[in-house]
């Protein structure tokens, strides 16, 4: 059983997806702590409801980023955390912290990386005219929204929809691929090999993760 911490800044719907997955005793990970850099993050309520201890570590309480990240690091070590899941954690972690936790931090981003790193991904996807966008779960490296990809889900863009509508459709996939990516990493079925993540070939009969929702957007 892999002890994980989830770092959040807000709503926490991906945290909820991870909480729900961990409720299954067969699932190979347990959330031992939820850390938020914002005291009013709704995700903290979700954690409390699930009986998971929470800690607020506000970046505003520290003189600099190093001190803020050292406080997070100390808390993680005190809780015996083995892997960190970023779930809407809106602070960029420094190389020093990321390297300390090398290959043990995973993140979800609402685009098909390496496209649309950063903020306003859905608006930018609509503006750029791409036909597909989606979401990515990846291992965190020091560059923002960069690192070996564990899973992705693709969603066809409807040019007439709003950014909020597109975001909502992608979020459904986020809630599927994040727990699945964590399951793969925690069970050892996926492992980092240089700049890629290798998934055991027997994991998916078709050799790869194509589209997680039955009847989803892509019909191959
Ligand atoms: C999610 O859409 C997640 O992919 C995104 O923030 C949202 C958090 O929602 N993360 C990023 O943009 C990170 N670069 P949630 O708090 O409901 O999980």
Whether 109 is a known active-site residue: answer yes
At the topology level, CATH places domain 1-101 in Rossmann fold (3.40.50)
Q: Is the CB of 180 under 6 A from ligand 1?
A: no
H or E element at residue 70: helix 65-78
Smallest CA separation from ligand 1 atom 9, residue:
88
- Angle (CA) 62-63-68 rounded to 5° is 40
Q: Which ligand 1 atom is nearest residue 16's CA?
A: 18
Q: Where are the domains of the chain?
A: 1-101, 108-220
Structural contact between residues 31 and 195, judged by C-beta atoms closer than 8 angstroms = no
Q: Out of 3.40.50.720, 3.40.640.10, 3.40.50.170, 1.20.1250.20, which CATH number does the structure's domain 108-220 have?
A: 3.40.50.170
Q: Which ligand 1 atom is nearest residue 12's CA?
A: 16
Banded model confidence at residue 205, pLDDT cuts 50, 70, 90: low
CA atoms within 13 A on the CB side of 42: 7
User: For 17-29, what is each residue's pLDDT tens digit?
Assistant: 999 999 999 999 9
**What integer is the mean pLDDT of 131-142?**
96
**What integer is the mean pLDDT of 84-105?**
97
Candidate from 8, 13, 14, 117 with most ligand 1 atoms within 8 A of CB, to mutate: 14
Q: Kindly report the pTM of this predicted structure.
A: 0.94
Structural contact between residues 82 and 105, judged by C-beta atoms closer than 8 angstroms = no
Which residues lie across from 149 on neighbouring strands?
138
Helix/strand/coil for 149: strand
Catalytic pick from 109, 122, 138, 175? 109
């Amino acid at each position: 059983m892999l002890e994980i911490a989830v770092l959040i800044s807000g709503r926490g719907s991906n945290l909820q997806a991870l909480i729900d997955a961990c409720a299954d005793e067969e699932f190979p990970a347990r959330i031992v702590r939820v850390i938020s850099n914002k005291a009013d993050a709704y995700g903290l309520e979700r954690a409390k409801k699930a009986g998971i201890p929470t800690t607020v570590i506000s970046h505003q309480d520290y003189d600099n980023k190093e001190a803020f990240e050292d406080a997070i690091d100390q808390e993680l070590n005190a809780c015996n955390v083995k892997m960190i899941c970023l779930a809407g954690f809106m602070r960029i972690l420094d190389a020093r912290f990321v390297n300390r936790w090398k290959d043990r931090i995973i993140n979800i981003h609402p685009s098909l990386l390496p496209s649309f790193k950063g903020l306003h991904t859905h608006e930018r996807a609509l503006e750029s005219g791409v036909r597909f966008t989606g979401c990515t779960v990846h291992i965190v490296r020091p560059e923002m929204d960069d690192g070996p990809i564990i899973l992705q889900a693709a969603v066809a863009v409807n040019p007439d929809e709003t950014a909020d509508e597109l975001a909502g459709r992608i979020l459904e996939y986020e809630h599927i691929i994040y727990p699945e990516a964590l399951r793969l990493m925690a069970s050892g079925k996926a492992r980092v090999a240089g700049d890629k993540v290798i998934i055991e070939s027997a994991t998916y009969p078709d050799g790869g993760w194509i589209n997680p929702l039955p009847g989803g957007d892509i019909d191959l």
